Amino acid sequence: MINSTVKLGHNVVIKEGVIIGENVIIEDNVYIDYGCIIRDNVHIRKGSFIGARSILGEYLMDFYKDKVNKAHPLIIGENALIRTENVIYGDTIIGDNFQSGHKVTIRENTKIGNNAKIGTLSDIQHCCSIGNYVSIHSNVFVGEESKINDYVWIFPHVVITNDPTPPSDKLIGVTIEDFAIIAARSVLLPGVHIHEDALIGAGAIVTKDVAKETVAVGNPAKEICSVRKIKNKFTGEQVYPWRYTFKRGMPWKDSDYETWYNGLSI
Amino acid sequence: MINSTVKLGHNVVIKEGVIIGENVIIEDNVYIDYGCIIRDNVHIRKGSFIGARSILGEYLMDFYKDKVNKAHPLIIGENALIRTENVIYGDTIIGDNFQSGHKVTIRENTKIGNNAKIGTLSDIQHCCSIGNYVSIHSNVFVGEESKINDYVWIFPHVVITNDPTPPSDKLIGVTIEDFAIIAARSVLLPGVHIHEDALIGAGAIVTKDVAKETVAVGNPAKEICSVRKIKNKFTGEQVYPWRYTFKRGMPWKDSDYETWYNGLSI
Amino acid sequence: MINSTVKLGHNVVIKEGVIIGENVIIEDNVYIDYGCIIRDNVHIRKGSFIGARSILGEYLMDFYKDKVNKAHPLIIGENALIRTENVIYGDTIIGDNFQSGHKVTIRENTKIGNNAKIGTLSDIQHCCSIGNYVSIHSNVFVGEESKINDYVWIFPHVVITNDPTPPSDKLIGVTIEDFAIIAARSVLLPGVHIHEDALIGAGAIVTKDVAKETVAVGNPAKEICSVRKIKNKFTGEQVYPWRYTFKRGMPWKDSDYETWYNGLSI
């Protein structure tokens, strides 16, 4: 099953039915569960877990023309936790500590930073850029050319579009700045720019840019107030910007945002 | 393939490529199609069908830390019809006569009653409660802590949320009472309470509780009338409460709701 | 693995782990990737590619009653490109040059024309009719009884419904005429008729018919203008009807719509 072009680290677990192509590198302590297909030129860095029946290094369009797999390397960073049945294309790079749900699709020429999470059924199209500590929940569609910066939260069933006059060949991706929050089921129209710490309400249809620290809701979405006006239902305390009130999984989880940030600047 | 800790009933069919873990109980007349993965501590009750490549007893988060599978039992009730590529976690209980579409995900600590149906691609998060005779259609997202009572209908692409100030650690689940109907593509915001026989219109964004037998539509959803005012387009007859006009698959299918209900009370 | 009732053409590639049922016809130059399940009575025409772990000829409801697979033939036209993990039922016919994304579901008694495309996660229910050169993007739900004519574009997360008073047994499918465009995340309510060259805006909830060459947006959707008023953001030129401004993948790709159309009429 494993050919001579594969480089295997120490303590690698490969369960039954896994298929491994050529020029594959699997570093130490990687665990590959039942029935995965690892196509050519995939590099899985140390400590990563690849869930059952995931397909890594999936074919790009050129394969289908002549059934010859060209060099389209995929790199999966250290300590990934990829759940079952993900399909991740070649020519993509994923940073360290990545986590995904089940049945996620990530296409080619996409770059994902460190500590990113992508939920079950989400579909990340090609030529996207996703930053560090980005959390994308279940069944989000991220269209081609989207640029998502760091610490962004995207909740279930959000759709990020890119074609102002469909069908066309002139796509304009959406940009989402650091710390922005896109609530469930909202739609971002082509080319909109969501600024830092903005909050897009559930089900909003966002047709225009949304300013920094601003809440936008409705169809079409309208800016209604500063995020600083939103109170926690239980405590009555200010919630946003969330970096000051939420720390689970964040680099400031052991202290607080300000302490951590000041430590960085030293 | 089958180890000595597995208890197999009579007339069990296990097709090629099925992987079965430890302490698994498979009762009489169960059929397990090609390539399923049955992890440890799964109990499949009699007469159930498990579709190709389904994964039962899927790992919880603790597995990924040390790659040791702790005891997280999953029980599938009698006569289930689970279609292909479902992923159902451990620590969950599913009642009798369950039916699912393709590629459904059901997470841990969730309890599903008898005669429930869940459609293709639906994603049921952890710590949910789903009653008897609940019908959930395709690609519905049911967030953590949701409580769905009996005879509820949820149509395609509905999203049920739970975090009032995302991201946060204080989730408040939605509650849906008996006989309520949630039409396609609507969104229920955290903590809303949908009362008995209410009807949520397609695409509604529900931000507040909806009263018994009331229709709510729009973004944000507004209560517009009693469900009793809605007429069938063909016959002009009153449609709701639907228990008096619809019987397919219901316990009153051979008579009518009132006769059945009166029989129960005797 | 391959029984005597299977007819295999020349130059067929069948990768590891493929399961093939009875009365299957696989024509010349077909490529079947790892782990596909081809159930009985499937006919794959020449030059088609079947992505890893796709299931063709999937069981209909009658199978589950007695575990006997009746004759429900599936025909896949020439030169299909079916990506991984599609599930396509029996009693369905797909034309030539079909392309699909990953994890697509297509149910029974559905007819799809030539040169159609269906994106990742889309779910096509039974008894639908989909024309030639139809492009359905990611995660679209097409309800039972939908009728989609030729050259229609449907963008991500659109939901096409069919039950005016759910739950009921009286479904009325949606009809979409040639060249219409349904933008992302919109919902078409039961029985609506979208006329030729109409454009449904992103996130619209369409409750009534939409006239020819008309733009409809909002919840509930309102007709706001002629499609002829929409300008390209970059060039300021008229965009719609799109057949005059877009040609990629279309039969008029080497000239223009008028030249091609006039050539047809000769």
Return the pLDDT at C1. Answer: 58
- pLDDT tens for A145-181 read 999 999 999 999 999 999 999 999 899 999 999 999 9
Return the pLDDT at A233. Answer: 79
CA–CA distance, B46 with B8 (Å, rounded to integer):
11
CA–CA distance, B173 with B129 (Å, rounded to integer):
10
| Mean pLDDT across chain B | 96
CA-CA-CA-CA torsion sign (A209, B219, C122, B120): positive
CA-CA-CA-CA torsion sign (A54, A58, A64, A66): negative
Please, are residues C122 and C150 in contact by the beta-carbon 8 Å criterion? Answer: no
Please, are residues B160 and B177 in contact by the beta-carbon 8 Å criterion? Answer: no
pLDDT > 70? residue A265: no
Return the pLDDT at B201. Answer: 97
A246/B contact by beta carbon, under 8 A: yes
The alpha carbon of residue A71 is apart from the nearest alpha carbon of chain B, in Å, by 30
**Chain A residues closer than 8 Å to B170 by CB:** 232, 234
The vertex-B209 CA angle with B207 and B210, nearest 5°, equals 110
Burial class (CB in 10 A: 0-12, 13-18, 19+), A235: exposed
Instruction: Flag the least confident range among A227-241, B50-64, B151-165, C76-90.
Output: A227-241
pLDDT > 70? residue C247: yes
pLDDT > 70? residue B252: yes
Adjacency order of strands within the sheet including B153-154 = B13-14, B31-32, B49-50, B81-82, B99-100, B117-118, B135-136, B153-154, B181-182, B199-200, B214-217, B222-226
A143/C contact by beta carbon, under 8 A: yes
Cα-only R_g, chain B: 20
**Chain A residues closer than 8 Å to B64 by CB:** 49, 81
- pLDDT tens for C107-118 read 999 999 999 999
Measure CB to CB from residue A170 to each of C81, C218, C234 and give the nearest one.
C234
CA–CA distance, B261 with B80 (Å, rounded to integer):
26
CA–CA distance, A143 with A161 (Å, rounded to integer):
5
Burial class (CB in 10 A: 0-12, 13-18, 19+), A140: buried
pLDDT > 70? residue C243: yes
Measure CB to CB from residue B103 to each of A16, A103, A219 and give the nearest one.
A103
CA nearest B81 in C: which residue? C64
Return the pLDDT at C2. Answer: 80
Over residues B86-103, the mean pLDDT reads 98
pLDDT > 80? residue B266: no
Whose tokens are 């992890």? That residue is B39
- Beta carbons of B230 and C167 less than 8 Å apart: no
DSSP B231: B
Enumerate neighbours of A (3 or more CB pairs within 8 A).
B, C
Helix (H, G, I), strand (E, B) or coil at A34: coil
- pLDDT tens for A117-129 read 999 999 999 999 9
| Mean pLDDT across chain A | 96
pLDDT > 90? residue A223: yes
Beta-carbon contacts of C41 under 8 Å, excluding residues fewer than 6 positions away, are C21, C22, C23, C24, C57, C71, C72, C73, C74, C90
| Mean pLDDT across chain C | 96
C104/B contact by beta carbon, under 8 A: no
B67/A contact by beta carbon, under 8 A: yes
Q: Which amino acid, residue C109? A: N
Measure CB to CB from residue C121 to each of B121, B156, B183 and give the nearest one.
B121
pLDDT > 80? residue A266: no
User: How many percent of chain B have pLDDT more than 70?
Assistant: 99
pLDDT > 90? residue C233: no
CA–CA distance, B102 with A247 (Å, rounded to integer):
36
Q: Which amino acid, residue A155? A: F
CA–CA distance, C157 with A5 (Å, rounded to integer):
42
Chain B (111-130) residues lying within 8 Å, Cβ to Cβ, of chain C: 120-121
A60/C contact by beta carbon, under 8 A: no
**Going by DSSP bridges, is the β-strand pair C7-8/B222-226 parallel, antiparallel, or unpaired?**
unpaired
Measure CB to CB from residue C168 to each of B35, B103, B246 and give the nearest one.
B246
CA–CA distance, C175 with C193 (Å, rounded to integer):
5
CA-wise closest residue to C123 among C151, C88, C173: C88
- Beta carbons of C167 and B246 less than 8 Å apart: yes
- pLDDT tens for A85-131 read 999 999 999 999 999 999 999 999 999 999 999 999 999 999 999 99
**Chain B residues closer than 8 Å to C103 by CB:** 103
SS3 sequence of chain C: CCCCCCEECCCCEECCCCEECCCCEECCCCEECCCCEECCCEEECCCCEECCCCEEEECCHHHHHHCCCCCCCEEECCCCEECCCCEEECCEEECCCCEECCCCEECCCCEECCCCEECCCCEECCCCEECCCCEECCCCEECCCCEECCCCEECCCCEECCCCCCCCCCCCCCEECCCCEECCCCEECCCCEECCCCEECCCCEECCCECCCEEEECCCCEEEEEHHHCECCCCCCECCCHHHCCCCCCCCCCCCHHHHHHHHHC
- Beta carbons of C102 and A121 less than 8 Å apart: no
CA-wise closest residue to B133 among B4, B253, B8: B253
Return the pLDDT at A30. Answer: 98
Please, are residues B228 and B238 in contact by the beta-carbon 8 Å criterion? Answer: yes
User: How many percent of chain B have pLDDT more than 90?
Assistant: 95
DSSP A227: G
Return the pLDDT at B233. Answer: 79
Return the pLDDT at A1. Answer: 58
Partners of A35 in beta bridges: none
- Beta carbons of A187 and C203 less than 8 Å apart: yes
CA–CA distance, B138 with A244 (Å, rounded to integer):
38
CA–CA distance, A134 with B105 (Å, rounded to integer):
23
Chain C (197-216) residues lying within 8 Å, Cβ to Cβ, of chain A: 202-203
The alpha carbon of residue B240 is apart from the nearest alpha carbon of chain A, in Å, by 27
Distance of CA B47 to the CA centre of its chain: 19
pLDDT band at C42 (very low <50, low <70, confident <90, very high): very high
**Chain A residues closer than 8 Å to B85 by CB:** 85
Beta-carbon contacts of C101 under 8 Å, excluding residues fewer than 6 positions away, are A105, C83, C118, C119, C120, C121, C122, C138
- Beta carbons of C120 and A103 less than 8 Å apart: no
Phi, psi of C175 (to 5 degrees): -120, 130
pLDDT band at A21 (very low <50, low <70, confident <90, very high): very high
ipTM above 0.85, yes or no: yes
**Chain B residues closer than 8 Å to A19 by CB:** none
Whose tokens are 């297509």? That residue is C106
pLDDT > 90? residue B2: no
Return the pLDDT at C3. Answer: 87
Partners of C147 in beta bridges: C129, C175
- Beta carbons of A49 and B37 less than 8 Å apart: no
The alpha carbon of residue B157 is apart from the nearest alpha carbon of chain C, in Å, by 8
CA nearest B220 in A: which residue? A218
C50/A contact by beta carbon, under 8 A: no
Over residues B109-129, the mean pLDDT reads 98
Alpha helices per DSSP H over chain B = 61-66, 257-265
CA–CA distance, C126 with C112 (Å, rounded to integer):
11
Indicate the helix (H) or strand (E) that contains A31: strand A31-32
- Beta carbons of A159 and C84 less than 8 Å apart: no
**Chain B residues closer than 8 Å to C141 by CB:** 138-139, 156-157, 184
- Beta carbons of A232 and B64 less than 8 Å apart: no
- Beta carbons of B153 and C166 less than 8 Å apart: yes
CA–CA distance, C215 with C224 (Å, rounded to integer):
6
Return the pLDDT at C265. Answer: 64
CA-wise closest residue to C219 among A249, B221, B134, A71: B221
pLDDT > 70? residue B1: no
- pLDDT tens for A42-78 read 999 999 999 999 999 999 999 999 999 999 999 999 9
Instruction: Flag the least confident range among A49-58, B228-237, C137-146, C247-256.
Output: B228-237
- pLDDT tens for B28-37 read 999 999 999 9
Distance of CA C76 to the CA centre of its chain: 13
Over residues C7-30, the mean pLDDT reads 98
pLDDT > 80? residue B93: yes
In order of their start, the domains of chain C are 7-227 (2.160.10.10)
**Chain A residues closer than 8 Å to B88 by CB:** none
Both tokens of B265, joined, read 């009370």
Whose tokens are 């739900």? That residue is C141
pLDDT band at B148 (very low <50, low <70, confident <90, very high): very high
CA–CA distance, A152 with A168 (Å, rounded to integer):
29
Helix (H, G, I), strand (E, B) or coil at B241: coil
